[in-house]
Amino acid sequence: MAARRLETADNKPLRLLVAISGGSDSTGLLLLLHRTLASCSDTQISLQAATIDHALRPGSAEEAQGVADLCAHLGIAHMTRRWDGDKPATGLAARARAARYRLLAEIAEETGCTAILTGHTADDQAETIAMRAARARPDPETGSHQSAPGLSGMAQNVLYENRVWIYRPLLASRRQAIRDCLRAQGQDWIDDPSNDNPAYERARVRADLARRSSGDTLPQAGRIDRLELSRQAADLLSRHATMPVPGLFHLDTALFEAEGAALRHGLHALVATVGGQPHGPESAALERLLQLGRQPPGARLTLGRCLAHRHRSGVFLVREARALPHLLINPSETAIWDGRWRVTNTGKAIAEVCPAAPEQPLQTAETLPASLAVLALMSEPMKAPNLEVEPVIAPYQGFLPGFDLPLAQALADLFRARRFLSPCF
């Protein structure tokens, strides 16, 4: 099994949370890490293990206990956390995944772990790429699916809710090689029957890949270098995008003279953030925005809950003043308003969060359209006592792939939001 050497950027002690289900991949990861750390007399890394019992089938509690017994034998601290409550009839896999990462993050915080490690393999990567390819649209410039950003596959590391980094040390390792190692050590593992259940997309894709593959080759990630793409997109936004008043964003004319995937990648994430949505606009809408930047002043269009206005100095982008929510927040609780703001009620009574309303005409610079400044103000949450608000970078609020960190940091700076955590190693 190939695994990247784990070391800290500042040589400080690390406690790593290993997510182990009892399957071959996560069991192999735990044993590999245990053996590696045991051979290092001067290591500053310790392990904590966690199992999430989704309670989706009979025997899941016994399986979790089996993992706990293995960890006890190895001398590794272990916790089991159960996903309680009603299980949805549809979208079960996505809900289970969300619950798993939420519970793992809670355990990491409780046990003082710096990062979470999962057992995703090259086989998981191939399945992910195949599923994304089935839904991908051709790249507007090349006409090829292979250069679509999403086909870069899973990142080696992912930041979860700007709270904890998740690493995938086995992403270049094949599942069969891991199982061969486990057999050589006399170590059993659990086979989850849902992995072969055709009701789940991943199981269907896995079976299809097994039929079409010789076993030695897997679908490869797209040709695009996502980290370099993110760096280029971040540079474009840093040089050409500003926020002259809160909620109103100006893209200068020079931005639209740029070419290539970096411009589209940056605009895609920017529109998603302005609109408070986890995903940016479809490629056709994005192309219309690019064309708007090359049209005469006065033209307008809407996309991704945003209004884009062509001005003589460039393009202004603002959240549309429609479908803005009214939200009630209990005392001491935090909620996301309109996908764009994290709001905390610091008072002792229920608080309502609603759109702001300008009390008087705004005085703006001649280069700034007053109507758009008013629209921007109306799309902001109303300031009220006992409410603390901070901006949210919507597309990266849940999961931020490590290769998109430069772009995410540039957006955080542009929106005057809290910056994202740097990787720990």
- Residue-by-residue DSSP string for 134-173: HHPPPPTTT--STT-GGGG-S-SEEEETTTEEEE-TTTTS
Please enumerate in sequence order all residues whose Cβ is within 8 A of that of 90, keeping only pairs 6 or more positions apart, or say none: none
Mark whether 385 and 241 lie in a shared domain: yes
pLDDT at 222: 52
22 is in an annotated binding site: yes
Residues of the chain where predicted confidence (pLDDT) is lower than 50 = 1-4, 145-147
Best CA proximity match to 197, nearest among 56, 20, 28, 55: 56
Do 308 and 315 contact (CB within 8 A), yes or no?
yes
HSE at residue 32, side-chain half, CA atoms within 13 A, is 25
Do 232 and 410 contact (CB within 8 A), yes or no?
no
User: Which residues lie across from 254 on neighbouring strands?
Assistant: none
Best CA proximity match to 251, nearest among 372, 141, 401: 372
Mark whether 237 and 208 lie in a shared domain: no
Q: Is residue 260 one of the residues assigned to a domain?
A: yes
pLDDT at 138: 60
Q: CA-CA distance, 206 to 203, in Å (whole number)? A: 5
- End residue of a domain, out of 212, 236, 253: 212
Q: CA-CA distance, 239 to 252, in Å (whole number)? A: 9
- End residue of a domain, out of 182, 212, 242: 212
Place of tokens 């006592």: 385
Note the pTM of the prediction, 2 decimals: 0.89
214 is in an annotated binding site: no
173 is in an annotated binding site: no
Q: CA-CA distance, 342 to 335, in Å (whole number)? A: 6
Mark whether 184 and 320 lie in a shared domain: no
Do 405 and 416 contact (CB within 8 A), yes or no?
no
Q: Is residue 392 one of the residues assigned to a domain?
A: yes
How many Cβ atoms from other residues are within 10 Å of residue 135's Cβ? 8
Q: Is residue 5 one of the residues assigned to a domain?
A: no
Domain that holds residue 269: 226-414
pLDDT at 89: 83
- End residue of a domain, out of 212, 237, 257: 212
Q: Is residue 6 one of the residues assigned to a domain?
A: no
Q: Is residue 399 one of the residues assigned to a domain?
A: yes
46 is in an annotated binding site: no
25 is in an annotated binding site: yes
pLDDT at 211: 75
Mark whether 71 and 178 lie in a shared domain: yes
pLDDT at 116: 98
Mark whether 120 and 268 lie in a shared domain: no
Mark whether 106 and 162 lie in a shared domain: yes
CA dist list (Å): 19 to 16, 52, 315: 10, 8, 46
Q: Is residue 425 one of the residues assigned to a domain?
A: no
HSE at residue 136, side-chain half, CA atoms within 13 A, is 21
Mark whether 73 and 129 lie in a shared domain: yes
Q: What is the DSSP letter of 111?
A: H
pLDDT at 174: 94
Domain count, the chain: 2
Question: Which CATH number is 44's domain given?
Answer: 3.40.50.620
Angle at 135 between CA 131 and CA 136, to 5 degrees: 110
Please enumerate in sequence order all residues whose Cβ is within 8 A of that of 141, keeping only pairs 6 or more positions apart, or say none: 147, 260, 261
28 is in an annotated binding site: no
